[in-house]
Structure 1
Amino acid sequence: MPVKIIIAWLALCWMPACFAVQDADAPKQTVRTISSGDMLHWAAGLLVVLAVFFFCVWGMRKLSGISTHGSEKMRVVGALSLGVREKVILLQVGRKQLVLGVTPGRIDALHVLEGEDCLNNNDCMDAGAAAGQDSKFSAIVKQVMKGQANG
């Protein structure tokens, strides 16, 4: 047991002394101070990184506005607010019309209108042809909104 203690003591005491002798022979490096040129380089690098980040954000906003090939076949025909957070929306998808109930946490398909059941038969026959015309549903929504504005 005393042999292990002696070896451990020699290892702990002599090893740092050996490294200290080697470090004393090596040339010492001077500590470099931070200059204003270094600060300008860091600031310029930070500005470049931020500029690239904001350019990417701007590009993503612009690209999200690009319509895809099939998006012309889907449009909101009308909407009616039932409360502060609840709405009923009439959505034209191709030749079908969907009546959707929209709440903050959920969207439910209330009814699907096809063919003769569509609120505006011109829209069901040709979805893109009557885009500028008001449907019966949107006329009712406008009338209700005028009534709320007057009352």
Structure 2
Amino acid sequence: MKVLDLQCPHGHRFEGWFASADDFESQQSRKLVECPICGANEVSRLPSAPRLNLSGATDTQVPAGAREMQARVMRALREVLEKTENVGDRFAEEARRIHYNEAPARNIRGVTTPEDALALVEEGIEVMPLPVPAALKEPLQ
């Protein structure tokens, strides 16, 4: 296995494991490599010393703090997904209904345009973008 240091356009650094450099190039050209934090698939390879991951070898090159931070982010995202109702593309409409007491108060998530999100904020409705990696979009187990 070849271990590569990667980064997305949002500055999230992570590592990817590939059979070879050619395997990375192939997957990257097909947009199959994505950031585990934000899901962006425009990743770039960072300069790094070549490193192979051999069975039984210890992972001393990736700082423990980085692994722990990534694990905490993923746990927090899972918790948010578990504790919110997915209203899909009806997000702006449902957020307004809740805000104006036309629907029961509850935590929701969904999809909206940047323009609709801005309009919600201007109406005094609190919203927050939440990029969800593809790995968490599958049903929770």
Structure 1 length as normaliser, TM-score? 0.22
Relative to total residues, which structure has the larger strand share, 1 or 2?
A: 1
Structure 2 length as normaliser, TM-score? 0.23
Instruction: Please identify the structure whose Cα radius of gyration is greater.
Output: 1
| Structure in which a larger fraction of residues adopt helix | 1
Q: Per chain length, whose mean CA-contact separation is higher, i.e. which structure has more relative contact order (CA < 8 Å, sep 6+)?
A: 2
